[in-house]
Structure 1
Amino acid sequence: MTRDIKKALGMFVITVILGGIVYYFALPSFSFESVGFWIYLIILLSLFEVSLVIASVTKANKNEHKAGVVAKAGGIAIALFVLTFIISSFASGRLFNPSDYANLIKEDIKEADFSTYQGTLNNVPLLDKGSAVQISNRKLGSLVDVVSQFELGENEQITLNGKSVRISPLYYGSFFKWNNNKNEGTPGYIKIDMMTQEAELVRLEKGIKYSPSEFFGRDLKRYLRMKYPFALFSSFNFEADEDGAPFWIVPVEKHTIGLFGGVDVDYVLVVDAVTGDIKKYSVGELPEWVDNVYNSDLITSQYDDYGSLQNGYWNSVFGQKGVKVTTEGYNYIPQGNDNWIYTGVTSVGRDESNIGFILSNKRTKETIYFPVSGAEEYSSMSSAEGVVQHLGYEATFPLLLNVEGQPTYIMALKDAGGLVKMYGMVNVEKYQIVATGETIQVTQQKYRELLKNNRMTVTETETEHISGVIEHIKTAAIDGTTYYYIKLVADDAYYVLSVKDNQLIVLKEVGDGIALDADKKSTGKIRNALLAE
């Protein structure tokens, strides 16, 4: 074996070792559909090229001609590799494949009339992610035995037993804290009820031992990469099943257009966060408790392609005939046991109005388009903030609901500390109709009165007859109107009545009998009601 061959082999071994170190930390997929894999190969080729050139110009053998040949040959090889990568990237893009991109979500979309829309005030999550994170951090800070060792992981919204909650797994605070607790794992996760804003630490019988905060073989991405070297992991979503057991939901991508384009979900890995057990599912076979398979940005991106590329790429850039896109921002609505993403749809160039909105199931990608014209979300947020500008409250990104038979934006109004202080309802078609209140029930009553005053159609309220003996009476003056909160004996709910619509309520005292017509749609601790005739 010649001396040059020995040097080349030596440099190859060094390159392989360096490549192994880079791979251990970067963990790229061994798939040519992975951009990371191409970058990884280019780095390895460059390292090998540099090492060969250095080996060819040693003090013992300074052969500039040989070094030049090696550098030239290696440079050409790397250039060809980079050129192939660039050409493949362009060939996978929207410019050359507009119809393919437009069809990515086409088969999943159906159109429906707003009268069939099921989004109502029941179980609506009005707490946004920012507020949920703040409440979770406060809860963590109150747990003396936990706060010194752990911190919050990524916050995810899920539907658990029909209720909207946000959950955050506990992560190790540092390598040393991991070393102190690795045998037990992290103790559980923080769960927040999106309606009541109550937070709790769900302590597990056995700790979480597989997560992004682990090190070495239990690091979630490294653990999965060793078992699925060719998979394209898109995200690592923390969820809990109906019994509260923790899992990681890991969608695996496929590219349907060229090497790098047309991203979609191929299959899903469900990882037990405690034991590390892995189950592989197709999208259609997933358990119903799984919520977050399709990333929200992936859904909105596919819908944008559907709305903008129907008439070709250049029309989406210049003429823009028939081009429609989603608005900037989205929120989530529970429907049954699934988590749906909501966002508005606007035509390009009319940035202050919507032509409709979509709901998309994050587990199945089923998408429903509702053609509803009116103000876009940020205009409605400004309208609500304008009513309470003296308080400095900020509106969360709204949800579009069916309130009193009208398409209505509803949002929470937060103080500087991120706590929900009030609620707002804004009519989509006439966004100057704005109602705010300290409770959902009060806000709805004021909104109903505004609709009537503006001669707009209001759905007749379905009621149930309630009678009993008054146990407590509380009053509150809101925007010049007095509201009575009545609690009956052996009934946990408070029934809220405005003195404007129920003048005789001022004559009632504790111990009196009373008959009420309570709104069937308002359930829970506070219910809208009227005095029964």
Structure 2
Amino acid sequence: MKKGLGFALTGLWVLLMLVSYWFYLPALNPLELGFWFFVLEGLALALVAQFLWGLVAAVSSAIPSQKAANLGRTRARDVTKQTIAYGRAFKLCLALIVGILLILGGASLFSSRVFRAKSYAGVIQVKEADFAKDFPETDVSKLALLDRASAEKIGDTYLGTIDKVSQFGISDAYRQITIGQQPYRVSPLEYKNFWKWMSNRKEGIGYYVKVNQTTGKAELVKLKEAMKYSDSEYLFRDTLRHLRLQHPTTIFGQPSFEVDDEGNPYYVATVYRPKFLLSSKDPVGAIILDAVTGKSKAYDLKDIPEWVDRVYSADNVISRVDDYYTYQNGFWNTVFSQSGVKKTTDSYNYIAIGSDIYLYTGITSATADSSNLGFILVNMRTRQVTNYKLASATETAAQASAEGEVQEKKYKATAPILTKLAGQAYYLVSLKDDAGLVKSYALVDAEDYQQVTVNNDIEKLIAAFTDADTSALTGASADQSATSDKQKQISGKVEQLASQIIAGTTVYYIQSNGQIYKIKASQETTDQLPFLKIGDHFTAQVGKDNNLDAFAVVSAD
């Protein structure tokens, strides 16, 4: 009986550890803190097993039996041996747990910023530059006007155009990348639930959405080969689990969706290594997973393909920049005199320069007033950091100033975009209503944030501050309004209706007969368009990308 109980407890321990590994997927690497938590979990379960074993042994030894009485001293000797063995195993597990906790605590303490402040400050190097001379002039054709929430609203309207629309949703990832030097947000489709996955897993996911952040143009991209690996998969095709089984000892982060310049889908997982004992993980490379085939390859930082836009996370970048500016003079200086102590502001955003994505944020003093000492620009693929000196308002102050210009409308300002127009620094702010729709734009002078210009037309707003060609901000819509002889005449009924301001122009989205159509408001569109409602019948001509021309309301319910 006791031998059977021992096998049962051992089997249960193995099963629980496998289940834990399946869900938490720690790297089997002693440099990973999660690995030691996994070991501690195993030792804790072993303690419980030892306790149960000892309890059963004690109970069974106390049961009187004729056989036990006849055995006398022999049985007493056996029980004593079992108790000693149980006690040793229990004490060993307990000692290992205490020892590991003490080592982890000591390692955490001695690798903390209290003892290694200057080491933390030295992880990155910052290049100093002058904003007026060195900061690149903003290319208005690459302005990322749409934030994540706006891109998601536009992208989600295309879900009704796919086959099996009831089986899929669109992931809320909407990761910002560059494709052909244009800023986009991309997001794959995902299975709506486990049962939808069961029905469609053989075919895979055949689409992803990309939204141009400059023009607001969205596209539902149909893949030549469907994705078989994604975050919405279950079992062995889940991206994190698949990569963990392929790279069991590698420390890496959550895979994120990206596409290369040819539109092929991948997941990118940043590889980390602790800088100080088990603390302060820092990127050392990346694993790229082909979402179609499931093949993956690990790269060192210097070898990562150039189409990969985001190797470093915003948290890592902000943390390293804060360490650099906070601990140059040691830890205790931050507590008492705070001489030379600076920090990043509470807001950050991304801008596209060339084919790379850059994070920018303001640098302010430790007193955290409403002024910046300059701006940090960080390449998210290489983590090259440049500080551009410029006395200016903080991003938060600029947002408040933009909201103040339209306070009667109660619009909310999004995180501003830092721009340089005709050599001058400005914050470009989108202003949204309570429904989350962009209603207007504001340019706030970064050096004098009380100077604010607001306009519903982004092209006219930018054109007032620069001689650069601003046609790209609305030019992408010009071809959509042109009537073609090959356009198809349709009629339909409005089943769903939504609108969004893109580059200062209202675009209406109409769902009818399983299709999503778009109408760009202009002087040529019917005056009935703003009063359109669900149930109205219409006729129109369908142009490129389901854009409607010659739109007319023929009857209303």
TM-score, normalising length: structure 1: 0.79
1:241 paired with 2:260, answer yes
Partner of 1:60: 60
1:90 paired with 2:109, answer yes
1:230 paired with 2:246, answer no
SS in 2 for 1:95: helix
Measured at CA, do residues 113 and 432 of structure 1 come closer, stay the same or move farther in structure 2, by a change above 3 Å?
closer
- d(CA) in 1 for partners of 2:296 and 2:403? 47
Kindly provide the CA deviation profile for residues 42-73 of structure 1, in whole angstroms up to 9, marking residues without a partner as x. 11100011101111111313679656665444
1:328 paired with 2:346, answer yes
SS in 2 for 1:97: helix
Partner of 1:210: 229
SS in 2 for 1:53: helix
SS in 2 for 1:355: strand
Q: Aligned to 1:338, which of 344, 347, 356?
A: 356
Partner of 2:489: none
Measured at CA, do residues 285 and 73 of structure 1 come closer, stay the same or move farther in structure 2, by a change above 3 Å?
closer
SS in 2 for 1:373: strand
- d(CA) in 2 for partners of 1:347 and 1:275? 50
Partner of 1:200: 219
Kindly provide the CA deviation profile for residues 202-233 of structure 1, in whole angstroms up to 9, marking residues without a partner as x. 11121111112111111111111111111111
Measured at CA, do residues 443 and 178 of structure 1 come closer, stay the same or move farther in structure 2, by a change above 3 Å?
same
Measured at CA, do residues 253 and 197 of structure 1 come closer, stay the same or move farther in structure 2, by a change above 3 Å?
same
Deviates more, 1:384-393 or 1:356-365: 384-393
Is the 1:166–1:193 contact (alpha carbons within 8 Å) kept by the matching residues of 2? yes
- d(CA) in 2 for partners of 1:111 and 1:323? 19
Partner of 1:114: 132
Pairwise CA distance, 1:155: 1.6
Partner of 1:501: none
- d(CA) in 2 for partners of 1:233 and 1:34? 10
Q: Aligned to 1:366, which of 384, 391, 398?
A: 384
Deviates more, 1:431-440 or 1:121-130: 121-130
SS in 2 for 1:80: helix
**Amino acid in the other structure paired with 2:457:** T
Measured at CA, do residues 313 and 184 of structure 1 come closer, stay the same or move farther in structure 2, by a change above 3 Å?
same
SS in 2 for 1:154: coil
1:101 paired with 2:120, answer yes
Pairwise CA distance, 1:254: 0.9
Kindly provide the CA deviation profile for residues 494-523 of structure 1, in whole angstroms up to 9, marking residues without a partner as x. xxxxxxxxxxxxxxxxxxxxxxxxxxxxxx
Kindly provide the CA deviation profile for residues 375-432 of structure 1, in whole angstroms up to 9, marking residues without a partner as x. 1001001111111112222111112211232111111112222222211111111111
Q: Aligned to 2:32, which of 25, 31, 34?
A: 34
Is the 1:119–1:333 contact (alpha carbons within 8 Å) kept by the matching residues of 2? no
Is the 2:167–2:191 contact (alpha carbons within 8 Å) kept by the matching residues of 1? no
More helix as a share of residues: 2
**Amino acid in the other structure paired with 1:365:** R
Partner of 1:435: 453
**Amino acid in the other structure paired with 1:29:** A
Q: Aligned to 1:381, which of 399, 424, 428?
A: 399
Note the residue ranges of structure 2 that are not aligned, 5 or more in a row: 63-78, 471-557
TM-score, normalising length: structure 2: 0.76
Deviates more, 1:11-20 or 1:228-237: 11-20
Is the 1:235–1:250 contact (alpha carbons within 8 Å) kept by the matching residues of 2? yes
Partner of 1:177: 196
- d(CA) in 2 for partners of 1:221 and 1:462? 45
Partner of 1:318: 336
Q: Aligned to 2:321, which of 298, 303, 310?
A: 303
Partner of 2:514: none
**Amino acid in the other structure paired with 2:426:** T
SS in 1 for 2:27: coil
Is the 2:13–2:45 contact (alpha carbons within 8 Å) kept by the matching residues of 1? yes
**Amino acid in the other structure paired with 1:190:** V
Kindly provide the CA deviation profile for residues 267-305 of structure 1, in whole angstroms up to 9, marking residues without a partner as x. 211111111121222111122111010111101110000
SS in 2 for 1:235: coil
1:352 paired with 2:350, answer no
Partner of 1:159: 178
- Residue-pair matches, total: 448
- d(CA) in 1 for partners of 2:99 and 2:253? 29
- d(CA) in 2 for partners of 1:381 and 1:27? 42
Partner of 1:285: 303
Is the 1:166–1:192 contact (alpha carbons within 8 Å) kept by the matching residues of 2? yes
SS in 2 for 1:339: strand
- d(CA) in 1 for partners of 2:224 and 2:163? 19
Is the 2:349–2:360 contact (alpha carbons within 8 Å) kept by the matching residues of 1? yes
Pairwise CA distance, 1:13: 4.1
**Amino acid in the other structure paired with 2:112:** G
Is the 1:31–1:230 contact (alpha carbons within 8 Å) kept by the matching residues of 2? yes
Note the 1:502-517 alignment, pairs <5 A.
none
Is the 1:156–1:239 contact (alpha carbons within 8 Å) kept by the matching residues of 2? yes
Is the 2:226–2:292 contact (alpha carbons within 8 Å) kept by the matching residues of 1? yes
Partner of 2:508: none
Partner of 2:273: 254
- d(CA) in 2 for partners of 1:308 and 1:387? 35
- d(CA) in 2 for partners of 1:142 and 1:319? 62
Is the 2:441–2:454 contact (alpha carbons within 8 Å) kept by the matching residues of 1? yes
**Amino acid in the other structure paired with 1:403:** L
Measured at CA, do residues 173 and 119 of structure 1 come closer, stay the same or move farther in structure 2, by a change above 3 Å?
farther
**Amino acid in the other structure paired with 1:22:** S
- d(CA) in 2 for partners of 1:249 and 1:225? 13
CA root-mean-square deviation:
2.3
Measured at CA, do residues 287 and 52 of structure 1 come closer, stay the same or move farther in structure 2, by a change above 3 Å?
same
Pairwise CA distance, 1:4: 7.7
Pairwise CA distance, 1:307: 0.5
